[in-house]
Amino acid sequence: MKIRVLGSAAGGGFPQWNCGCANCREGRRGWGRARPRTQESIAVSADGQSWFLINASPEIRAQIEACPALWPRADRHSPIAGILLTNGDMDHCLGLLSLRESHPLVVYATEAVHAGFTENNVLYRTLERFPGQVTWRPLELGREQPLGDGLWVTAISAPGKLPVHLEGRRAPSPEDSVGFLIRAESGPRLGYFSGIAGLSPEVEAAIAQAAVVFFDGTFWSSDELGAAGLGTKRAEEMAHWPIGGPQGSLPFVSRIAGRAFYIHVNNTNPILIEDSPERRAVNDAGVQVAHDGLELDL
Ligand code: MLT
Ligand code: MN
Ligand code: ZN
């Protein structure tokens, strides 16, 4: 299986347009100490011809242009055979609306994420320009499903929450946020858990089967936004398990067999600074920080 990291930052990207924090200033300095990153999305393929995206970020057009494998091979064509959504957050869905140039799309999502994106959304009508413009394929929790073109996926409920724009509008559900196990034929599995509030027996069992794991690296610490004066919410209120400290995810992630990468990294996270003590702690634990353009062959 081929894996291409299209974007590795959390919502807002890095640097974030309205942020002048120390990290973002470093990111604007031509990346001596911190590499700019677009919002989280990866592409996977069994054969290198047909690709599936995990998440459709607001920066999807630039991400496709930066990845030649995703370029059209005919006057009207796309190697993108499907798009899988981990949840309904804007940083994961907004890109769908950018793919409105009358191209048939296949989108895999749980019923909760599908409904959250399409109901009462007048902008969704831009993807209803002709019958069959979007084919939604339901992801069922815990059941392996074929994607076609040699890939299989299992969606696993990931402790999470409703997207910010749906909070208070509907009841939370285990389908609001998922992670994926993906395999090509009988090859090794990719585990993808880019947004996760903490562990569950299902998540632990899934990750135990994965040879490579991408994991929620949004925040280093719980009070990262508050301490920097950039917000009031703690990491846990946003359903992101922080990396650092005795309760952090690093000891768990560092025990994951094979290779592990933090992804969905927020612009405030000190691991973005390549020579920071926090980045060193992550690397010393055997974990890497995903970056845009990273290519892996499983
Ligand atoms: C998140 O990852 O918590 C969300 O992307 C936050 C947001 O939608 O602003
Ligand atoms: Mn996000
Ligand atoms: Zn910033």
Q: With helix as H, strand as E and coil as C, how does 37-71 read?
A: ECECEEEEECCCCCEEEECCCCCHHHHHHCCHHHC
Over residues 161-188, mean pLDDT: 97
Over residues 110-127, mean pLDDT: 98
Whole-number pLDDT of residue 30 = 81
Percent helix, strand and coil across the chain, each rounded to 5?
Answer: 25, 25, 50
Q: Is 89 in the pocket of ligand 1 (CB under 6 A)?
A: yes
Nearest Cα residue to 160 out of 176, 141, 142, 140: 176
258: confidence class by pLDDT, cuts 50, 70, 90 = confident
pLDDT of 31 above 80: no
Over residues 198-208, mean pLDDT: 97
Q: Is 12 in the pocket of ligand 1 (CB under 6 A)?
A: no
Residue of minimum CA distance from atom 9 in ligand 1: 11
Whole-number pLDDT of residue 62 = 98
188 upstream amide cis, omega within 30 of 0: no
Q: Is 238 in the pocket of ligand 1 (CB under 6 A)?
A: yes
Residue of minimum CA distance from atom 6 in ligand 1: 11
Q: What is the DSSP string of 99-120?
A: --SS--EEEEE-HHHHHHHHTT
Whole-number pLDDT of residue 41 = 99
Amino acid identity of residue 120, one-letter, is N
Whole-number pLDDT of residue 162 = 98
Tell me if 158 sits within 8 A of 196, measured CB to CB. yes
Tell me if 84 sits within 8 A of 57, measured CB to CB. no
Of 18-27, 28-37, 126-135, which gets the smallest average pLDDT? 28-37
pLDDT of 257 above 80: no
Over residues 87-107, mean pLDDT: 98
Whole-number pLDDT of residue 294 = 98
31 C-alpha vs ligand 3 centroid, how far in Å?
14
Three-class secondary structure of residue 17 per DSSP? coil
Over residues 140-145, mean pLDDT: 98
Whole-number pLDDT of residue 198 = 98
290: confidence class by pLDDT, cuts 50, 70, 90 = very high
Q: Is 11 in the pocket of ligand 1 (CB under 6 A)?
A: yes
For residue 261, what are the β-bridge partners? 214, 288
Bigger pLDDT: 215 or 258?
A: 215
Tell me if 7 sits within 8 A of 39, measured CB to CB. yes
Average pLDDT of the chain, as a whole number? 97
Q: In what order do the strands lie in the sheet with 151-157?
A: 144-148, 151-157, 178-184, 189-193, 210-216, 259-263, 288-289
103 C-alpha vs ligand 3 centroid, how far in Å?
35
Q: Is 90 in the pocket of ligand 1 (CB under 6 A)?
A: yes
pLDDT tens for 268-288 read 999 999 999 999 999 999 999
Q: What is the DSSP string of 231-279?
A: -S--GGGGT---SSSTTSSHHHHHHSSSEEEEESB-TT-GGGSTTSHHH
- Considering the entire predicted model, what is its pTM? 0.98
40 C-alpha vs ligand 1 centroid, how far in Å?
11
Contacts of 250 (CB under 8 A, 6+ apart): 243, 244, 281, 282, 285, 287
Whole-number pLDDT of residue 38 = 98
Whole-number pLDDT of residue 85 = 99
pLDDT tens for 214-253 read 999 999 999 999 999 999 999 999 999 999 999 999 999 9
Over residues 139-161, mean pLDDT: 98
Over residues 126-142, mean pLDDT: 98
Q: Which atom of ligand 1 is nearest to the CA of 10?
A: 2
Whole-number pLDDT of residue 32 = 82
Distance of CA 262 to the CA centre of its chain: 10
Whole-number pLDDT of residue 280 = 98
Residue of minimum CA distance from atom 5 in ligand 1: 11
Among 18, 41, 238, residue to substitute to test ligand 1 (most atoms within 8 Å of Cβ): 238
157: confidence class by pLDDT, cuts 50, 70, 90 = very high
Angle at 86 between CA 175 and CA 44, to 5 degrees: 140
Percent of the chain with pLDDT over 90: 98
